[in-house]
Amino acid sequence: MKRRLIRTSVVAALALGVLALAPSAQASIPSVFSGDVSCSPQPSAGNVRLCSGPTHTFDGTKIDVNVILPPEPATGADGPYPTIGTFHGWGGSKIGLDGRTQGWASRGYAVFSMSDRGWGNSCGANDPDRASVQCAKGYNHLMDDRYEVRDAQYLLSRLADEAVTQAKKIGVTGPSYGGGISMALAALRDRIMLPDGTLAPWSSPRGKDMRIAAAAPEIPWTDLAYSLMPNGRTLDYVADAPYGNRIGVEKQSFVAGLYALGQALSNYAPPGTDPDADLTTWFALINAGEPYDGNPFAADITDEVTTHHSSYYIDHSEPPAPLLISNGWTDDLFPPDEAIRFYNRTRTQYPGAQLNLFFMDYGHQRGQNKAADVALLRARQEAWFDYYLKGAGPAPASGQVETLTKVCGGPSAGPYFAQNWAKISPGEVRYGSAAAQTISPVAGDPTIGQAFDPITGGGACATASGSDQPGTATYRLPAASGSGYTLIGSPTIVADINSPGPFSQVAARLLDVAPDGTETLVARGLYRPDVSSGPTGTRQVFQLHPVGWQFAPGHTAKLELLPNDTPYGRASNGQLPVTVSNLQLRLPVLEQPNGTTISAPAAKVVPAGYTLARDFAKGP
């Protein structure tokens, strides 16, 4: 009996010792990040807990964070929780306690947010610690995979080490700049990028294997060089669409506005101190204009921005995390082709990859951002995270495309669904013109350009005179008949283009001319044509940014080609006359072929060096 009592006492002591070694499994969470950031309940928000304050990242730089935790459980373990990382846009700072973050925390998620380095109190313009040692590397690196993206990975892994969060149940989301980091995190998935650009497994400081489980980037870029200076080389039906060797046309009103906002609120590196983050020098060179091609500094900028600041160029030897990417038809900064290029390449390389698209009229200027549309997107995102982070709800379809269309003066039309991007537009409206038209270097009505400018113009539904502008190449389709037709996709131009100068551009606008003679901008694009000469030049193909829009009965689709689209796009130095002939305009539409105005889609024009994306190669 005595021996049995001794043995029982030993077992009890060992059990108490085990419990003492693992208090975090049962005790509430008083703080995070090794005690740097304390947590407190928020009675007015359902007692979710807010942990807010600064900590440090992998290189010692100060980063200001918010962690929002579910209410302290009455019984059972306090964590580890599935996590949603939510990231701010350019000009913003860490996401606080709002309806969405409170909702996530109330439903059992931990929510992580940070002020990206160089913003807010992460060494931003107004951070009192900006001049301190902890901010020596805290300047804005323009969402560099090796810095801002790695900051998020490092801080998320510290939370996993503290048993606050689950190491492999992490979702990420955010708009614009936050969409860019969400895309990069999804592309890296279980890897980090080191300062020398090499990749390594993503593990926590204590050795836990880390992984992104799902992502829902909002209005992101995938190729930042193309977003800010498009050259027209992206095609929405090819398997791989890299930037190419022609530096494009600056979206001047956007780039100037973004740079100025960063000057006021962010922390730019002093010019010349860091060639990989020299935003001031880059901005000056871009704004000086052509010649870009052949300028080694311009080439260096393009190489840097694509290599370390663009998710499309992250090593894709493994598939990305499941992605639900949303972009806006009327977003002139990060339009839908930013998502489509990533989608096409991923589905071509990994046909089973979980990657879905959602397009509507929202985002940066000129997006209308209708409340009902945003609510629908939010519902899709919540279901996406619930499935991939909690295993709740039905499995999402793979490759699905969901769209709403732009409507002025009423609710958006849709939603419309397709199994993939190739199937969203089973019909095509085509127009051809053999006649040669010359684009004069000084053509275009500046008041019309001003009306359609995303920053200072009249918004998505601005109107202007539909009269043809002298010196432009203009093409009018027959007025829509019957019930009209619904454009969903990228208007495509195939033409012989004679452009003898290396600095010239072609700015394209697709317009809807109403019966009263006023026009509304439907789609636009900026193209740097191949240098060519001779009687007809060379056969070339380029696209306007994708859009969803109905041409109502009696309305006319008008295409105009201009020497520039100022103030939105920068006018080129040394613009020369450009002659266009034998033009074909192809408008992908939602409606089925009807044997009259709507045809089956024509065979795609695939330039040398490109191949069709898998979904297009299979046929509609």
Give the tens place of pLDDT for each residue, 156-200.
999 999 999 999 999 999 999 999 999 999 999 999 999 999 999
| pTM, rounded to two decimals | 0.94
The rounded distance, in Å, linking the Cα atoms of 118 and 154 is: 17
Q: How far apart, in Å, are the Cα atoms of 54 and each of 33, 57, 66, 117, 536? A: 9, 10, 9, 12, 63
Q: What is the DSSP letter of 390?
A: I
Instruction: Evaluate whether 454 touches 332 at the Cβ level (below 8 Å).
Output: yes
Residues 265 and 122 sit within 8 Å (Cβ to Cβ) = no
| Residue 618: predicted pLDDT | 78
Over pLDDT 90: what percentage of the chain? Answer: 94
Q: Give residues with Cβ within 8 angstroms of 251, minimum separation 6.
A: 227, 228, 229, 230, 332, 333, 526, 568, 569, 570
pLDDT at 2: 37
Give CA separation, 589 vs 331, 495, 596, in Å: 20, 21, 14
Half-sphere exposure of 123 (CA within 13 A, CB side): 25
**Tens of pLDDT, residues 135-151:** 999 999 999 999 999 99
Q: How far is 405 from 422, CA to CA, in rounded Å?
A: 17
What's the CATH code, domain 427-589+598-617? Answer: 2.60.120.260
Query: What is the spatial distance between Cα 554 and Cα 575, in angstroms, rounded to a whole number?
Result: 36
118 CB-side CA count, 13 A:
25
Contact 222, 339 (CB under 8 A): yes
**Residue of 288, 84, 246 lying closest to 169 (CA atoms):** 84
How does pLDDT run across 432-467, given as a tens digit for each residue? 999 999 999 999 899 999 999 999 999 999 999 999
- Reference 117, options 342, 224, 268; nearest CA is 268
For the chain, the structural domain boundaries read 36-228+309-421, 427-589+598-617
Confidence of residue 536 (pLDDT cuts 50, 70, 90): confident
Percentage of the chain exceeding pLDDT 70: 95
What is the distance between the alpha carbons of residues 38 and 31, in angstroms, rounded to a whole number?
4
pLDDT tens track for 401-422:
999 999 999 999 999 999 999 9
**Average pLDDT over the chain, rounded to an integer:** 95
- Token readout for 321 is 């995390």
Segment 535-559 shows an average pLDDT of: 97
Question: What pLDDT score was predicted for residue 534?
Answer: 82
* pLDDT beyond 70 at 259: yes
Task: Output the six-digit token pair for 488.
Answer: 């969903």
Name the nearest CA neighbour of 575 among 524, 529, 535: 529
pLDDT at 511 > cutoff 90: yes
Q: What stretch of H or E contains 13?
A: helix 2-21
545 dihedral zone (left: phi>0; alpha: psi -120 to 50; beta): beta
- The answer to whether 127 touches 266, Cβ cutoff 8 Å, is no
Taking CA 194 as the corner, what is the angle to CA 348 and CA 127, rounded to the nearest 5 degrees?
110
pLDDT above 60 (res 11)? no
Q: Tell me which of 3.30.70.1350, 3.40.50.1820, 2.60.120.200, 3.20.20.140 is the CATH number of domain 36-228+309-421.
A: 3.40.50.1820
pLDDT tens per residue across span 349-394: 999 999 999 999 999 999 999 999 999 999 999 999 999 999 999 9
How far is it, in rounded angstroms, from Cα 182 to Cα 159? 18
Which two tokens mark 390? 């909690």
Q: What is the DSSP letter of 361?
A: S
Quick one: DSSP state of residue 312?
A: G
Residue type present at position 68: I
Helices 252-265, 279-288: inter-axial angle, 10-degree rounding = 160
321 vs 346: CA distance, rounded Å: 11
Instruction: Quickly count: other Cβ atoms within 10 Å of residue 462's Cβ.
Output: 18
- 2-11, 381-390, 493-502, 581-590: range with lowest mean pLDDT: 2-11
pLDDT of residue 619: 58
Contact in structure between 599 and 431 (CB atoms under 8 Å) = no
Question: How many helices (DSSP H) and strands (DSSP E) are in the chain?
Answer: 12, 26
Given a cut of 60, is residue 8 above it in pLDDT? no
